[in-house]
Structure 1
């Protein structure tokens, strides 16, 4: 088998390349040929009669693609010429847009925090109806979360402590998709990441921060290996299935009485910390699952 791992060619930091590099190493042990391909090395062409892709060096197109990027247009182009993509373009699109992700999770009756979506407002709108934005806050008490639809590493997630903070944030991000969400204070600075492959939770870590309400590693949290409960595993599997993920990192908050609540599903979850703190190389499970799906 011959596959490509697509990554964003304009993000060459080690953290972004760790997963593609590990996939290539693991693939070699399994007798699978893998090439790492930056997304901008591929030209996408459509005409009224043809859809095509061309690598800049004219190398042969793959029999499957592992897509470690959010270039959804490119993922769709592969699918249009019948090359399987993991995760699918639809799955990546759902999880990249947190507004859509929570709608999908809610449709499948997955346990999530209470969430309210902000309306679409165009850039440079001269006057904002702040009363309507205040109406959005009625299901919540302060503090609550404001989360932009698109964002990574926790950087577009805000803990709103009072009305002034909220209105200032609305003024700042009104022309972006965003949502308001119940703050799970019992999970302040703490969450779980369960890594799902196929029908199994293959590894899990706990992330904890003493400095921030967010537990993202890139914001300085500490990490430890974690053994999830059966309830946590089932919730993670249900969330992964709801968004259509072949593999993903599922972030879980801990509600009152340690009730698991889905925070997010990540189709481009980095695996370095899973390997470092659990000793589990999830790329073996990923490649074995993909091989079963395409045969």
Structure 2
């Protein structure tokens, strides 16, 4: 992204240890591997400097943690529970409390590209999976309601506008991630789904975000994830995303 933008505007990479703040505008893109440092840098900037920030700290904090996203957008998302080293042995009771039934989806709180996302069909398999996971690490997992979907959509939102949406069609996998070989096609959202997407983007406080939407077999929409560092290699087939970002920056800065 930065290479594309720097063709027209000079950009500065923010190092949390040596902040170069001689800038008027920051387009933040805090990856998960540097989340703590990025959030710390943005907190300092937002509290001490008069600099506009596209995708502010709160939006990154909410969107990079899938359970935080769920806490903010609970009524629009599949039912989810957080599993930790302290409560994974009580998973059956936790699922019963919220009405979760098998199959379920298990995924890491932090992650992308479909990595570590599994569909689990039976209680015994889930208990075995959790036991093996927590023997090796202490990372939290999310157990999420499985939605049999008709369409898996990525909507690319810039500002208060959906600039493009594409359907991801799984190939040899139940997951529809492009990184796993899913095919894509341009998709046009119904107005009620557009309204839902934009309402949720506003609630998390994001300016540039990729929103994953599931449409179930009864045409009910669900927000699945909010990607605050969205890739756009595949959606570039249908829209010039870097150009749209530049247009937004011009409007934002003015």
Paired residue for 1:90?
Answer: 58
2 CA distance for matches of 1:235 and 1:120?
34
Q: How big is the alpha-carbon RMSD for the aligned residues of Structure 1 and Structure 2? A: 2.1
Are positions 1:140 and 2:100 aligned together? Answer: yes
Return 5+ residue gaps in structure 2 as ranges. Answer: 32-37
Structure 1 length-normalised TM? 0.75
Q: Judge conservation of contact 1:98–1:150 (CA < 8 Å) in 2.
A: yes
User: Which of 5, 16, 23 is equivalent to 2:5?
Assistant: 23
Query: Is 2:171–2:181's contact at 8 Å kept on the other side of the alignment?
Result: no
Q: Does 2:39 align with 1:80?
A: no
How far 1:177 sits from its partner (Å)?
Answer: 2.1
Structure number with the bigger relative contact order (C-alpha 8 A, sep ≥ 6) is 2
CA distance in 2, matches of 1:211, 1:272: 21
- Within the alignment, does 1:285 sit opposite 2:248 as a pair? no
Check whether the contact 1:99–1:177 (CA below 8 A) recurs between aligned residues: no
Distance 1:65 1:141 in 2: 44
Residue among 143, 149, 152 paired with 2:109: 149
Q: Structure 1 residues 36, 275: CA separation in 2 closer, same or farther (over 3 Å shift)?
A: farther
Counterpart residue number, 1:265: 226
1:186 correspondence with 2:149: yes
Shift of 1:269: 0.4
Report the CA distance between 1:36 and its aligned residue.
Answer: 5.3
Give yes or no for contact 1:148–1:178 (8 Å, CA) kept in 2: yes
Are residue 245 (structure 1) and residue 203 (structure 2) matched? no
TM-superposition CA deviations, 1:204-238 (whole Å, max 9, x none): 11101131121110011011111111122111111
Mark the structure with the bigger radius of gyration.
1
Output the CA distance in 2 between the equivalents of 1:265 and 1:150: 12
How many residue pairs end up in the alignment? 242
